[in-house]
């Protein structure tokens, strides 16, 4: 009975963490777009863009920092629930957690680069440094993070299929989301255009892999919170 109660407790805080991280990141996106909009393409234009929208940008970065930390809690809870679901499931659970943590770490790195570019634009502007940092962060936010995100979703489908932690829909959702996230990798070949759509650091690279991961995180979290108590 103690084990059942303990697992239910983990399901609850895992579900709450998953919903919280999605909500916080959507708010962060809203703050970014309402206060700054799409980045400009040229070096001088980017410096002006970062300087004029610095308050909104740094606030959105801070919200993302918090959200990625909460996301790690969500992945940690998933790892525990998958590992407890049956014998021999430690490796699938640990794989899900490891890939989830990798996505979060990459997120913290590329956000830190963009935050550094914004800080430089406000205090000691150096156009070349600003552009290199922001462009590098935006590119890292694309294909280099989309690949482990797709691997995370694929591994989650595999772990759910073996553990039966959730219904069959969770397996298919994970695999479909993995394919959608992987589709954004082609933007890596689109060149450098911060204000572009399909460039390596453009809109597709920045957003396309996020949406499947958000939908997956939110759906899995709701399902965990709605699970009946075992036994």
Question: Could you report the per-residue pLDDT of 132-150, keeping only the tens digit for each?
Answer: 998 899 888 888 999 999 9
pLDDT at 231: 42
- 126 belongs to a structural domain: yes
- 205 belongs to a structural domain: yes
- 231 belongs to a structural domain: no
| pLDDT > 90? residue 2 | no
| pLDDT > 80? residue 99 | yes
Structural domain total, the chain: 1
- 180 belongs to a structural domain: yes
- 78 belongs to a structural domain: yes
- 186 belongs to a structural domain: yes
- 8 belongs to a structural domain: yes
Kindly compute the dihedral angle of the four CA atoms of residues 138, 141, 142, 146, in this order, to the nearest 10 degrees. Answer: 180
Confidence class of residue 72 from pLDDT cuts 50, 70 and 90? very high
Range of the domain at 160: 2-226
Which pairs from 36-43 meet CB under 8 Å and 24+ separation?
Answer: 36/60, 38/194, 38/195, 38/203, 39/134, 39/138, 39/194, 39/195, 40/194, 40/195, 41/193, 41/194, 41/195, 41/196, 43/127, 43/128, 43/130, 43/131
The tens digit of pLDDT for each residue in 11-43 reads 999 999 999 999 999 999 899 888 766 776 778
Confidence class of residue 1 from pLDDT cuts 50, 70 and 90? very low
pLDDT at 199: 81
| pLDDT > 50? residue 46 | yes
């Amino acid at each position: 009975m103690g084990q059942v109660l303990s697992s239910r407790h983990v399901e609850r805080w895992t579900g709450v963490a998953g919903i919280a991280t999605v909500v916080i990141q959507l708010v962060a996106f809203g703050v970014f777009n309402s206060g700054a909009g799409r980045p400009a393409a040229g070096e001088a234009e980017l410096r002006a863009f970062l300087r004029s929208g610095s308050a909104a940008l740094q606030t959105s970065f801070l919200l993302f920092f918090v959200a990625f930390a909460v996301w790690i809690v969500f992945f940690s809870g998933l790892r525990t629930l998958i590992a407890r679901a049956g014998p021999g499931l430690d490796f699938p659970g640990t794989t899900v957690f490891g890939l989830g943590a990798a996505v979060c770490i990459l997120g913290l790195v590329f956000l830190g680069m963009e935050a550094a570019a914004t800080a430089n634009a406000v205090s000691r502007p150096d156009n070349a440094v600003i552009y290199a940092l922001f462009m590098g962060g935006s590119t890292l936010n694309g294909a280099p993070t989309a690949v482990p995100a797709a691997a995370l979703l694929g591994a989650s489908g595999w772990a759910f299929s073996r553990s039966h932690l959730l219904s069959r829909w969770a397996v298919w959702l994970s695999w479909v989301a993995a394919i959608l996230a992987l589709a954004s990798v082609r933007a890596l070949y689109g060149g450098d255009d911060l204000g572009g759509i399909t460039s390596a650091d453009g809109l597709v690279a920045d957003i396309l892999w996020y949406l499947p991961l958000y939908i997956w995180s939110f759906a899995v979290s709701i399902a965990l919170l709605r699970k009946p108590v075992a036994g």
